[in-house]
């Protein structure tokens, strides 16, 4: 796997005013490429991540498209530079989907593609299922290590760390903790780990701590209420959503993923949009999208 490295280019940061169930909030989003381009690629991160995860992919897409494209990468509410919600029960998929529709209505791209890692893939499935009724023309969907079935053991693993160990005595301590926490991303260089991890940490004015994780620890509260029964009930709903999707779909999977198992991926190639399935050896949940073979898979599919 040949590594890709970030250049000195930086995206621009913007905000959109959102409101869902009487909870007004600002959602931040990062923008690459030409903001006036007719075609956009929306890249949405996983549960505890943020929009800068897609820096490498965004630059590759802009280069491949000759600059005539706009890459949009939101910080889902409660993460990154977005507001934190007063009511933690808002940290659920319906809020996130509503926010994405607000963003897309504000930006109004003529056509768009969706790239979603884990939670961002679930949000994308829901957006694609309702895109036509919202007047959106989605051309392609990329699901990065996620599908209608989220394995219970993986949910238990995530529950074990979600919202915990929010503060670190030094920046380097925080960087080391994140590299350990996300080691399932696979073999990355120190430079790649640092680039992925720096946006995950924010300065904090607290005795004995220099930095904290970027997200609101309250995002864990709705997650803690999940039961195995409710998770299984959700699977049926997500399969219905997936089977309603008709656009070309690419499914990426880490070969060692505990969240998206191989038999679920296989089923996704046979149902709904009959996804094209690509698997990456030596990677768990989820492919980082900063190594060349992963980036190439997406750019080739979209462009």
pLDDT tens for the 303 residues of the chain, in order? 444 444 447 899 999 999 998 899 999 999 999 999 999 999 999 999 999 999 999 999 999 999 999 999 999 999 999 999 999 999 999 999 999 999 999 999 999 999 999 999 999 999 999 999 999 999 999 999 999 999 999 999 998 889 887 899 999 999 999 999 999 999 999 999 999 999 999 999 777 899 999 999 999 999 888 899 999 999 999 999 999 999 999 999 999 999 999 999 999 999 999 999 999 999 999 999 999 999 999 999 999
Instruction: Look up the pTM and report it.
Output: 0.95
Whether 50 is in a domain gets the answer yes
pLDDT (0 to 100) of residue 149: 97
Reported as a single tens digit per residue, the pLDDT across 44-101 is 999 999 999 999 999 999 999 999 999 999 999 999 999 999 999 999 999 999 999 9
Q: What is the CA radius of gyration of the chain?
A: 18
Question: What are the start-end ranges of the H helices in 217-270?
Answer: 220-224, 228-243, 262-270
Whether 268 is in a domain gets the answer yes
Whether 51 is in a domain gets the answer yes
pLDDT (0 to 100) of residue 10: 85
Residue 89's domain comprises 12-151+219-302
Tally of domains in the chain = 1
Whole-number Cα distances in Å, 255 to 203, 265, 271? 35, 11, 21
Whether 165 is in a domain gets the answer no
Whole-number Cα distances in Å, 247 to 131, 220, 264? 11, 32, 19
Whether 164 is in a domain gets the answer no
Whether 232 is in a domain gets the answer yes
Q: What is the CATH number of the domain that holds 65?
A: 3.40.50.1820
Element (H, E) at 142: strand 138-144
Q: What is the rounded CA–CA span in Å between residue 195 and residue 300? A: 24
Reported as a single tens digit per residue, the pLDDT across 101-120 is 999 999 999 999 999 999 99
Q: What is the rounded CA–CA span in Å between residue 272 and residue 138? A: 16
Whether 189 is in a domain gets the answer no
What six digits make up the tokens of 298?
Answer: 């997406």
Please compute, for residue 31, the number of CA atoms within 13 A of its CA located in the half-sphere on the CB side: 19
Whether 68 is in a domain gets the answer yes
pLDDT (0 to 100) of residue 224: 86
């Amino acid at each position: 796997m040949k590594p890709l490295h970030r250049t000195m280019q930086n995206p621009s940061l913007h905000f959109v005013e959102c409101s869902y169930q009487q909870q007004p909030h600002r959602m931040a989003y990062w923008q690459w490429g030409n903001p006036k381009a007719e075609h956009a690629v929306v890249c949405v991160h996983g549960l505890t991540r943020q929009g800068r995860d897609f820096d490498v992919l965004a630059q590759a897409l802009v280069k491949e498209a000759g600059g005539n494209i706009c890459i949009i990468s939101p910080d889902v509410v409660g993460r990154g530079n977005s507001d934190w919600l007063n009511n933690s029960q808002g940290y659920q998929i319906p809020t996130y989907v509503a926010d994405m529709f607000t963003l897309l209505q504000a930006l109004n791209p003529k056509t768009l593609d969706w790239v979603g890692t884990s939670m961002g893939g679930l949000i994308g499935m829901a957006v694609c299922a309702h895109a036509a009724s919202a007047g959106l023309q989605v051309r392609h969907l990329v699901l990065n290590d996620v599908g209608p079935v989220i394995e219970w053991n993986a949910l238990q693993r995530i529950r074990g760390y979600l919202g915990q160990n929010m503060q670190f005595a030094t920046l380097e301590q925080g960087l080391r903790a994140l590299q350990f926490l996300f080691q399932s991303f696979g073999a990355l260089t120190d430079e790649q780990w640092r680039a992925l991890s720096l946006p995950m940490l924010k300065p904090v004015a607290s005795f004995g701590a220099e930095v904290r994780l970027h997200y609101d620890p309250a995002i864990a509260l709705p997650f803690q209420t999940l039961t195995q029964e409710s998770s299984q009930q959700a699977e049926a709903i997500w399969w219905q959503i997936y089977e309603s999707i008709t656009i070309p779909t690419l499914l990426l999977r880490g070969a060692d993923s505990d969240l998206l198992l191989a038999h679920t991926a296989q089923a996704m190639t046979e149902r709904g949009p009959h996804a094209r399935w690509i698997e990456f050896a030596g990677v768990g949940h989820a492919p980082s999208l900063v190594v060349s073979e992963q980036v190439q898979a997406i750019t080739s599919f979209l462009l």
